[in-house]
């Protein structure tokens, strides 16, 4: 699925129940992070649920593996990864993820006050991109 | 008892919509809503009476100094301290406990001395003692609680040793709701030669608190949980002990004489209130305590006790719902988990249903781990909570179960 398809799919969902159900589906379809990565080293600071992020660098592009013990957060992670995966560091830097989440009707989940780890995950992705520039 | 629906009119936010749903506010243990009398009183001061305290001999300053000191008097009466000099205004309970650790602790504790806390402590009554341990070599002892969250007297007594110099315990757990028998524990601590400090953040909101009756040496609480503003808290200390303690921070308003060579300090409470204090917040706190006093602490307790038994009758023995902390002596704090649903996922759905609960480790991570969890959800009550609020939770949980399971 492309990001455009995802945005289109979300546009058909006009209440939060359906959006959350779709997020649960996305979460269920996210590939599990291998257990050996579920260590403090790859943990993202988040208060409400555990979140892990593992960066991989191939051919000038960044690829991330991510996971959480909360299913809605997994769904949100799968969107974040769809947005950022296999992009170059400078492409990552130029992505306005807030706009994309607003289009999906999920902007509240990116607020720093929500503390679901997603905002920290995005900061970390940007940090890794910065590091590899 | 009072009419809770009448009372709710004093808290405008409670009748507003949250996510287009009626506001079911079940997070008063984190911070309580404020009555109009508190909000209006603070606005009135900023509009018409504001100046610094303890400074000028001009009318506004004298006037607001009188209000600030009157707030101290209100606190004194609310907790039945022997003197208002035993009431120190701080930022919050966290600062109150840090103050004791930094001043009394550094002056009177030596390597090998023991500070005893319970397994049910908030980080605010744990980390300051850890820091002190690492700094001066005291040891920090933790006495266990039962699996249902109950206080275990035999464990407490076992951990009270001749080396125990301070017992620092919560009056009521912010995760489990367990109420500790403070008066008896204080007596046992004293018989053992230890001082007794109470983290009364939750306790004071739900129970009549009398520091002379408990006979505690220190007691800490936060204004924002007692329906007052943020940024103001209280440390109560017995005067003789406070008088033996060095200042916490230094600066303006707390000095007696200052020369370049030497400074002498004011007695308590000024000694511990360096700099311009949270003036309007202190007065707002006084107003909040007046509000509680007017309702009557016994009435507030009766109302909340009734809610606790109602919640138990509704939430105990529900398949898929596990209450965490079921001590017989329990106040209006219910932590829970729903089988198969991460508390964070649950909170997403409850939020959409207009229900505010807290999820996470509740700043008591070792306690939540001891109960066998990584995170839990928590519903907590205040004086304005209704049976309707309690009734709203289960259907929302059912809805989450439909979505997630």
List pLDDT tens digits, range B18-70. Answer: 999 999 999 999 999 999 999 999 999 999 999 999 877 898 999 999 999 99
Residue B255 Cα, gap to closest chain A Cα (Å): 40
B187 vs A: CB within 8 A: no
Separation CA B52–CA B277 (nearest Å) = 9
With CB atoms and an 8 Å threshold, state whether B344 touches A73: yes
**Chosen domain end from B239, B273, B294:** B294
CA angle B381, B306, B384 (to 5 degrees): 40
Domain boundary among B274, B294, B314: B294
Instruction: Give me the pLDDT at residue B385, please.
Output: 98
Q: What is the pTM for the complete model shown?
A: 0.94
Name which of B300, B293, B254, B301 is nearest B76 in CA terms. Answer: B293
Q: B342: exposed, middle or buried (C-beta count within 10 Å: 0-12, 13-18, 19+)?
A: buried
Say which residue, A49 or B240, is predicted with more confidence.
B240
Nearest to A71 among B342, B360, B375 (CB): B342
Q: Of A36-45, B123-132, B150-159, B179-188, which range is least confident?
A: A36-45
Closest partner residue to B403 among A24, A70, A116, by Cβ? A24
**A91–chain B nearest CA distance, Å:** 31
Least CA distance to B358: which residue of chain A? A48
Nearest residue to B352 via CA among B388, B397, B383, B312: B397
Total domain count, chain B: 2
Query: Residue B360: its pLDDT value, please?
Result: 87
User: Is A82 near chain B, with CB under 8 Å?
Assistant: no
- For residue A47, the chain B residues in CB contact (below 8 A) are 360
Mean pLDDT, chain A, whole residue set: 90
Shortest CB distance from A20 goes to which of B347, B349, B374?
Answer: B349
Same domain, B154 and B181: yes
**What integer pLDDT is reported at residue A106 of this predicted model?**
87
Whether B141 and B10 map to the same domain: the answer is no
How far apart are alpha carbons B249 and B23 in whole angstroms?
Answer: 41
Domain interval for residue B119:
39-294
Single residue among B255, B275, B294 that ends a domain in this structure: B294
Mutate to test the interface with A, among B340, B341, B346, B348 (most CBs of A within 10 A): B348
Nearest to B218 by CA among B204, B239, B238: B238
Cα diameter, chain B: 72
Number of domains in chain A: 1
Q: So what's the pLDDT on residue A115?
A: 65
CATH code of the domain in which A73 resides? 3.90.1010.10
Same domain, B382 and B340: yes
Has residue B183 got a pLDDT over 80?
yes
Instruction: Output A104-113 pairs: Cβ under 8 A, ≥24 positions apart.
Output: A104/A6, A104/A7, A104/A10, A104/A19, A104/A79, A105/A10, A105/A13, A105/A19, A106/A10, A106/A19, A106/A23, A106/A76, A106/A79, A109/A76
Placement of tokens 């959800």 in the chain: B377
Average pLDDT of the segment spanning A74-87: 95
Q: Do the Cβ atoms of B97 and B246 come closer than 8 Å?
A: no
pLDDT at B122: 97
Distances (CA, A) of B107 to A132, B104, B361, B385: 51, 5, 33, 44
Q: A83 vs chain B: nearest CA distance in angstroms?
A: 22
Same domain as B196, residue B228: yes
CATH of residue B13: 3.90.1150.10
Which pLDDT belongs to residue B54?
87
User: Measured between beta carbons, which residues in chain B are less than 8 angstroms from residue A20?
Assistant: 348-349, 352, 403
For residue B232, pLDDT over 90 is answered with yes
The DSSP element (H or E) to which B222 belongs, if any, is strand B218-222
Helix and strand totals (H; E) in chain A: 6, 3
| Domain identity same for B255 and B148 | yes
B216 and B323 assigned to the same domain = no
A37-42 own/partner pairs: CB under 8 Å, 24+ apart: A37/A65, A37/A67, A38/A67
Domain span at A65 = 3-131
B235 and B307 assigned to the same domain: no
How far out from the chain centre does Cα B361 lie? 17
CATH code of the domain in which B167 resides:
3.40.640.10
- B352/A contact by beta carbon, under 8 A: yes
Tokens of A22: 């779709």
| Whether residue B242 has pLDDT greater than 70 | yes
Same domain, B259 and B344: no
Regarding beta strands B355-356 and B17-18, do their DSSP bridges make them parallel or antiparallel, or are they unpaired?
unpaired
pLDDT for position B135: 96
Do both B310 and B290 map to the same domain?
Answer: no
Same domain, yes or no: B67 and B107 = yes
B359 contacts in chain A (CB < 8 Å): 48
Measured distance CA(B334)–CA(B299) in Å, rounded? 21
* Helical spans, DSSP H, in B173-277: 182-191, 203-206, 211-214, 239-243
Q: Which of B202, B215, B382, B368 is nearest to B291 (CA)?
A: B382
Q: How many CA atoms lie within 13 A of B219 on its CB side?
A: 29
């Amino acid at each position: 699925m492309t990001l455009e398809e995802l945005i289109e799919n979300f546009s058909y969902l006009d209440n939060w129940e359906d959006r959350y159900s779709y997020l649960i589906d996305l979460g269920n379809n996210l590939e599990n992070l291998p257990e050996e990565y579920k260590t403090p080293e790859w943990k993202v600071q988040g208060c409400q649920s555990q979140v892990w992020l593992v960066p991989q660098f191939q051919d000038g592009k960044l690829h991330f593996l991510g996971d959480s013990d909360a299913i809605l957060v997994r769904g949100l992670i799968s969107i974040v990864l769809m947005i950022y995966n296999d992009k170059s560091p400078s492409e990552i830097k130029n992505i306005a993820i807030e706009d994309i989440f607003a289009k999906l009707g999920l902007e509240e989940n990116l607020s720093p006050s929500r503390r679901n780890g997603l905002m920290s995950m995005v900061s970390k992705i940007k940090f890794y991109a910065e590091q590899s520039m | 008892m009072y009419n809770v629906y009448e009372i709710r009119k004093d808290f405008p936010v409670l009748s507003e919509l949250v996510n287009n749903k009626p506001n079911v506010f079940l997070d008063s243990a984190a911070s309580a809503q404020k009555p109009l009398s508190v909000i209006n009183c603070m606005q009135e001061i900023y509009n018409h009476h504001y100046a610094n305290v303890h400074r000028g001999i001009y009318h506004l300053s004298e006037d607001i100094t009188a209000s600030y000191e009157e707030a101290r008097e209100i606190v004194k009466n609310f907790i039945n301290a022997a003197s208002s000099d035993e009431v120190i205004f701080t930022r919050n309970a966290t600062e109150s406990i840090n103050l004791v650790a930094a001043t009394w602790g550094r002056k009177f504790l030596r390597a090998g001395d023991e500070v005893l806390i319970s397994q049910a402590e908030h980080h605010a009554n744990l980390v300051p003692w850890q820091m002190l341990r690492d700094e001066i070599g005291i040891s920090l002892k933790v006495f266990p609680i039962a699996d249902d969250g109950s206080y275990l007297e035999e464990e407490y007594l076992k951990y009270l040793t001749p080396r125990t110099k301070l017992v620092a315990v919560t009056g009521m757990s912010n995760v489990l709701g367990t109420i500790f028998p403070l008066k008896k524990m204080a007596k046992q601590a004293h018989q053992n030669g230890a001082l007794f400090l109470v983290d009364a953040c939750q306790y004071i909101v739900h129970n009549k608190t009398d520091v002379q009756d408990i006979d505690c040496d220190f007691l800490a609480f936060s204004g924002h949980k007692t329906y007052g503003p943020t940024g103001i808290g209280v440390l109560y200390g017995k005067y003789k002990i406070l008088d033996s303690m060095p200042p916490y921070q230094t600066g303006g308003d707390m000095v007696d004489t200052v020369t370049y060579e030497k400074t002498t300090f004011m007695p308590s409470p000024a000694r511990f209130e360096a700099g311009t204090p949270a003036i309007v917040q202190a007065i707002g706190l006084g107003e909040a305590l007046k509000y509680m006093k007017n309702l009557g602490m016994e009435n507030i307790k009766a109302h909340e006790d009734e809610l606790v038994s109602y919640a138990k009758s509704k939430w105990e023995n529900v398949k898929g719902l596990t209450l965490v902390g079921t001590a017989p002596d329990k106040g209006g704090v219910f932590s829970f988990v729903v089988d198969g649903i991460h508390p964070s996922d649950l909170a997403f759905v409850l939020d959409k249903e207009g229900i505010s609960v807290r999820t996470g480790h509740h700043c008591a991570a070792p306690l939540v781990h001891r109960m066998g969890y990584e995170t839990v959800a928590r519903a907590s009550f205040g004086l304005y909570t209704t049976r309707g609020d309690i009734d709203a939770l289960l259907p929302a949980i059912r809805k989450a179960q439909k979505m997630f399971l």
